Structure 1
C-alpha cells in the first residue's frame, strides 16, 4: 500500500507483481492519497516540459474519479505556483446532443472543476463537441484527431473506468483501431449516469469519444478507480484476457500504464482477495477468517466439516503449520461466528459479555442511528431498530440530509396542487407549480421546491419512526449544509457540517452509534456522511462520555458486509421481516420508480429483503443456526 502522496509512485517497466496481473497497479489507502499522487505526477511532467520550453499535452477525463486530482492541481497552482500556460488539453468525451453550457455537459464539468481556477490559455482547451448535427460530428471528430496529432500526441492520458469496462465512452465491442467518433451508450453506462440527469429518461443515448487507438498512442496512461463498485471490473481488466468485450483490457498492451486504486477498488485482485493462492502470506485473524469462509464456499462444506486435506489442496497448508489441525481452526472460527449472532443488539442484560458482540451494561443504552437519507435507517437496519426500541433502549434517529433531490418533480407537483386546494392564494405553491411546469433539466430547483421535497421526506420518516414506536422528540433532522445545493453536485464538507454532527452526539451522549458504512453508494452521499461522522468522532472522542460509546457500521441497499467482516449479526423472524417492509413502505416517494435506482430494477425493500435472507443463508451454509433473515454490522474502532 502507498501512503505517501508526496512521492511520485514508481512507473512500470515489465510488470510482474504476480502471475495473475497483467497491468501495473498501485494501491492507496484511500482515493484522496491516490489522487494527490497522480496530481504530483502531472505537475512534475508540466514542470519538466517548462524547463525545455515545450508544450505539455494532457488527455483529461470527467466523472467523479478525477475530481480530487483536479482539486490538487488547483491547489498546486494557487499555493505552489504551478502554471498551466504551456499545457494543452484534450478531453476524452462529451454527451450528444449536449449544449456546452448545460450543467450536465463535460464542457461545464471541466470549467467548474478545473479550468476556471487555473491559468490555462482558453485556446489550449479542447473538448469534443456535442452541440452539432450528426453530419457535422464526423467532420469535427476527424479534426479532433488531426489536432491531437499536430500537437505531437498525448504526453499523458488520465482515465476513469466504467462498470462496462469502458474507457472514455468506448463501450464493449469497440475496436482496437477506433478513433474519435460518435458512439451509442450502453444501458449500464446510462443507468450509472441517471442520478446526474435526474432520471434515466434524461440521459443522452449517444456520445462523442476519443477512440481506443488514440488513447493507446499516449506516451503515459494513468487510470483511476475508486470504490467497491469498481472492484469487479478492475479485477477483470487487470487479470482477464484482452477482449473487445472489456475495452479497458486493451491497456494490457500499453508499455507505460498504471492503474491507481484505493483499497476497495483493489479488493478483488487475487493477491488482495485470496493471497494464499498466489504465494505465501502473513496470516492475521482477519485473513484467517476470510480464508476459512472462502474455503467453505470453495468446497461447499460447513466449517466443522473442513479437513486437513481441504486446507492443503487449496494453498492453505501454511495456515495449518501455524495454527495446528483443521479441527482447532474450525472450532475457533465456528465459535467466532456463533458469538456474533445476537437478538440483543443493545446488549443482553446480565449476560456474559465476552461471548456477545455488545456489552450487557448499562442495561438500557442511549442509541443514535445516523441515517444519511431519510429512509436508510429502516432500509438498512429496520429489524435492529425495532429490536432496540422493543428492548427499552433510548433510541434517537438522526437524519443527516434532507434527501430532497430524490423526490421527483411529479411527486412534488402532486403535493403542491393538494396544498393549493386548501390554500388557493399560497404564493409558494403557485411558484412551485409554475417552476415545475416550465423547468428544464439544466436548471437547479428553486428554494421553495427544495423545501417542499424536504418536507415530504421528513413526514414520511416520521410515519416510519412512529410505526416502530419512537417518539417524535427522538427524531432529529440535521439537514447538513453540504447537501443543500439543489443539484446532484454537493459542496465539500465544511466545519458547519461537522459541528452539527458533534452537537447532536454531545447532546445525546450515546452508548451506541449506528451509521452507514456503505462506501459503494452510487451518488456518494453515504460516503460524505460517514466522513462527517469520522471527523466528528475525532473532534469529540476525548470527551469522557465517549469512552463508553461503541460505533457500529451498517450497509445500505447496495452491498452487505462479507461474512468474515461481520462483528454482529441480528436475526429477524418472518414477522419482523414484514414489519421492516411496512416501515420502508412509509417512504412512499421512494417507491415505484425511485430516482436513484442504479442498474438494479428491484425496489429497495425487495433488494434488502433478499440481501438479509442471503446473509442468513450464508450463516446456515457455514453450519450455524437457520434464520429467516439477518442484518449485519461491523464495529468501528475510533
Structure 2
C-alpha cells in the first residue's frame, strides 16, 4: 500500500501497532489483546468524526452494523453522549441490513437491536435513522431498495462504515456469490449464516431465509471502513479475507480494494494471520523465546510429518527457522522440546503424592486437595474435563462442582412441556397447568415466563446431579450459583454485576481451594463463557489477600469447539478407552442437550462426539510428536495472575 493511502487512516490506531506490509497481508489491520480496548478506540474515531463534521456545520453520515461485534462500540458512544456531551444531532445513519420478513417490535429485528443498544440513549433525530424495512411485501421491495440507495447518495455517501464479518465472509448480508457492483437488494441467507443466528432465534427453523442488505458497491463507496473481528471463531475467515485472493466466494475480500479500510481485531480473531501463526515465515530477524520456539517446533513437525527427535538441521533451514538454528543446534532443541512436552503428561491432575514434583505440572502437596470446577453451563464440566473430573474424585480429592448459570435457556419448549405434563399427571397442580398454558401460548422469539424458566433450570439441575452422582460425587459438593447476569430469559445477557462477583467470591471463600478449574474457551468473546471467566478472574483478584489464595492454582480448560495448541498445553491428562466411555456416559446424563440441541453451533455433531474427537486428536498429536500413545487426552493451561 502507498504511504499516501496509509496517511488516510486514523492516527488513533498507531499506538496499538503499526501496520507492516508483508507478502501475505493485503488489508490494513491492527490487533488488540482486548476487544473492549479496541471497541473504545473505534468509538473515539467515530466521535472525533462527528465532532469534526459538527465544527464544519455538516452532517455526519454513518453506516452501522448489528450483531455482537459492535455492541461495546455503541456502549462507549452512549457513555460519551451522557458523560462527555457528545451530540448526535448532526448524525444520519444507514444500517447495513435487516431480516425479511421481520416486524420492528420483534426482539430479533435489527430495528429493535439498534434502538436497544444505541438510538434510545442518544439525541439523534428519529428522521435521521434509516434501517431497512423488513415488513415489506415482495412487490414493493425492489423499489424500496433503490430508494435506500438514493437516500444514501442524497446525503453525499457514507462518511464512515462500521462492519462485522460472518463466517461465510459476508459483510452486511452480502453472502458468497455477491458481485462487486451490487447495491441494496434482497438476498437469500447462506445456511452457515442461519446456523450462526439460530441461538438468538431459539432454533434454526425460526431464522428467516431472506434479508435486505446494503450492497458491496455501497460499502466500497464509503470514505472510511472499519471492520471489527472478535474471537477465535472468526480467525479462519479473517485470514482468508486479509491474505487470500479477491473472490466473490469471500465477499469481504473486496475490501482489499478499499483505500481507507482497517480491520480491528482481537488476539483470537487475528491468531491465524501468518505474522501471528508462523511469524518466522515473515520476519527472519525474529527474537526467539521459549514459547515461540515451542510453537515453531510443533508446527515444523506438522509440516515435515516428523516426530520431534527426528528433526534435522535441514528441516529447520528449509522452513524459515534458520535464525533459531543459529542460536542452538537441532539436537539440543529437539531434546528440550521433547522433555517439555513429556513433562506435561500426568495421570495425577491433583498432583502425585509422595513423588518428586520438580517436572510435574501439579504439586505433590497437599496430597488431598480441595478443588473447585467452575462450569459456565450445567454440562461444560463433563464435556470439557469429564475424564479429569473422574480422576480427581477417584484419587480422593475434595472436589466441588460450581455451575455458574442455570442454563435454562438451552432447554427447548418441547422438553419443558413434556416435563410439565408428566409433573401434572403425577401430581395435578395449578402451578403445572400455568406452565403448560404458558408454553402452549408462547409466541416465536418471545421470552419465557419466570415459572417456565424455573422449570427449565430444574431440568438442567436434575441432569447435573445425574452426571455428578455417576462420577461418584456427593450431592453436598454440587453447587448451583445461578449467577444473576444470566437470568434475563433471553439470549442477550446482562453485564457482570457486583452480585455475581459476591456469589463467586463466597463459594471460593467457603471451599478455600488449592485448585480451580475454569472454562477458557472464548470462541465468542460476548458469550456466557467469557462472562463466566471474567467472574472467576475478578473474584480471584479480589481474594488475593486471603491466606489460602497463596496456594491456589487456576487451570483453564476448553470446551467442545476448540482445544489448546500443543505448545500451549501445560497439563495433559490421558484417558484409557474405559475412561473415554465413562466420560461419554456422564455427558449422556444431560438428556436435554442431546438429539438436536438448541445451541449446536456450526458443528452438527452432538457434544459427546465433539468432545471425544477433540480428546482423541490431542492424544494423536502427542503420539505424532513421538510421545506416549494414549486413547485420548484432556488438556489444560495454567493461568498466572500478575
Same-fold status (TM-score > 0.5): yes
**Is the counterpart of residue 507 in structure 1 residue 510 in structure 2?**
yes
Check the 8 A contact 1:195/1:523 in 2, yes or no. no
Structure 1 runs, 4 residues or longer, greater than 2 Å off: 14-17
Separation of aligned partners in 2, 1:128 and 1:275: 43
2:122 is the alignment partner of 1:118: yes
Q: Give distance in 2, aligned partners of 1:180 and 1:26.
A: 29
**2:350–2:362: 8 Å Cα contact kept in structure 1?**
yes
Structure 2 residue corresponding to 1:535, chosen from 533, 538, 541: 538
Matched, 1:307 2:312: yes
Q: 1:479 aligns with which of 478, 482, 491?
A: 482
- Distance in 2 (alpha carbons) for counterparts of 1:218 and 1:135: 29
Matched, 1:334 2:338: yes
Which residue is equivalent to 2:3? none
Residues 448-487 of structure 1: matches in 2 within 5 Å? 448-487=451-490
Is there any run of 5+ residues in structure 2 with no aligned partner, and where? 1-9
Corresponding residue for residue 386 of structure 1: 390
Partners of 1:432 and 1:209 lie apart in 2 by: 39
Matches of residues 166-245 of structure 1 in structure 2 within 5 Å?
Answer: 166-245=170-249
Are the counterparts in 2 of residues 160 and 224 from structure 1 also a CA contact under 8 Å?
Answer: yes
Asked if 2 retains the 8 angstrom alpha-carbon contact of 1:7 and 1:37, the reply is no
Which of 489, 493, 497 pairs up with 2:492?
Answer: 489
Shift, 1:214, TM fit: 0.3
State the secondary structure of the residue aligned to 2:368. coil
**Structure 1, residues 267-326: CA drift from partner, whole Å, max 9, x if none?**
01101111101112111111110000000000000000001111111111111122x210
Query: 1:262 deviation in Å?
Result: 0.4
1:606 maps onto 2:606 in alignment: no
User: Which one of 530, 548, 551 corresponds to residue 548 of structure 1?
Assistant: 551
Q: Partners of 1:441 and 1:284 in 2: how far apart?
A: 54
What residue in structure 1 maps to residue 68 of structure 2?
64
Deviation at 1:15, TM superposition (A): 6.6
- Aligned equivalents of 1:523 and 1:609: distance in 2? 26
| Offset from partner CA, 1:556-612 (integer Å, 9 cap, x none) | 001000100000000000000000001000000000000000121100000100110
Whether 1:138 aligns to 2:142 is yes
Pairwise CA distance, 1:429:
1.4
User: How far does residue 423 in structure 1 lie from its aligned partner after superposition?
Assistant: 2.3
* 2:285 paired with 1:287: no
Task: Find the residue that maps to 1:583 and give its secondary structure.
Answer: helix
2:505 is paired with a residue whose SS is helix
C-alpha distance in structure 2 between counterparts of 1:571 and 1:485, whole Å = 39
What pairs up with 1:16-95 in 2 under 5 angstroms?
16-95=20-99
- Looking at structure 1, the residues matched to 452 and 373 of structure 2 have their Cα atoms a distance apart, in angstroms, of 28
Tell me the CA shift for residue 523 of structure 1. Answer: 7.0
Distance, in Å, in 1 between the alignment partners of 2:391 and 2:376 is 21
The match for 2:563 is: 560
Structure 1 match to 2:5 = none
- Contact 1:368-1:514 at 8 Å conserved across structures: yes
TM-score by structure 2 length? 0.97
2:627 matched residue in structure 1: 624
Q: Out of 425, 429, 444, which is 2:432 matched to?
A: 429
1:58 is paired with a residue of what secondary structure? Answer: strand
**Separation in 1, partners of 2:566, 2:139:** 55
| Residues 149 and 246 of structure 1: CA distance in aligned 2, closer, same or farther (over 3 Å) | same
Counterpart CA distance in 1 for 2:11 and 2:453 is 44
Report the counterpart of residue 371 of structure 1 in structure 2: 375
**2-structure distance, mates of 1:609, 1:254:** 44
Contact 1:11 1:256 in 2 (8 A): no
For residue 187 of structure 1, report the CA deviation from its aligned partner.
0.3
The alpha-carbon deviation at position 73 of structure 1 amounts to 0.2
What secondary structure sits across from 2:99 in the alignment?
strand
CA distance in 2 between counterparts of 1:34 and 1:409 reads: 38
Question: Which structure 2 residues correspond to residues 438-453 of structure 1 after superposition, within 5 A?
Answer: 438-453=441-456
Match of 2:347 among 343, 346, 356: 343
Deviates more, 1:437-446 or 1:305-314: 437-446
Count of residues in Structure 1 that have an aligned counterpart in Structure 2: 630
Does structure 2 retain, via aligned residues, the 8 Å contact 1:157–1:218?
yes
Take 1:199 and 1:470, find their aligned partners in 2: how far apart are those partners? 34
The question of 1:317 aligning with 2:322 is answered yes
1:354 maps to 2:362: no
Deviation string 1:72-92 (CA, Å, 9 cap, x unpaired) is: 000000010000000000000
| 1:9 Cα deviation after fit | 1.3
* Distance verdict in 2 for CA 1:22–1:11, change over 3 Å: farther
Mapped partners of 2:120, 2:513: distance in 1: 45
RMSD (CA atoms):
1.3
Mapped to 2, the partners of 1:11 and 1:271 lie a distance apart of 18
Within 2, Cα distance between the matches of 1:451 and 1:437?
A: 16
SS at match of 1:542: coil
- Structure 1 position 541, deviation (Å): 1.4
Q: Is the 8 A contact 1:15 1:22 kept in 2?
A: no
Q: Distance in 2 between matches of 1:135 and 1:282?
A: 62
Instruction: Give 3-state SS (helix, strand or coil) of 1:340's partner.
Output: coil
Return the TM-score normalized by structure 1.
0.98
Find the partner of 1:635 among 631, 635, 638.
638
Deviations 1:84-132 (A, max 9, x none): 0000000000000000110000000000000000000000000001101
Does structure 1 conserve the Cα–Cα contact (< 8 Å) formed by 2:202 and 2:445?
A: no
Equivalent residues of 1:165, 1:171 under 8 A apart: yes
State the match for 2:7 in structure 1: none
C-alpha distance in structure 2 between counterparts of 1:263 and 1:443, whole Å: 35
Cα distance 1:67–1:218, how it changes in 2: closer, same or farther (>3 A)? Answer: same
Gap change, CA 1:33 and 1:522, over 3 Å in 2 = closer
Please say if residues 231 and 524 of structure 2, whose CA atoms lie closer than 8 Å, have aligned partners that are also in contact: no
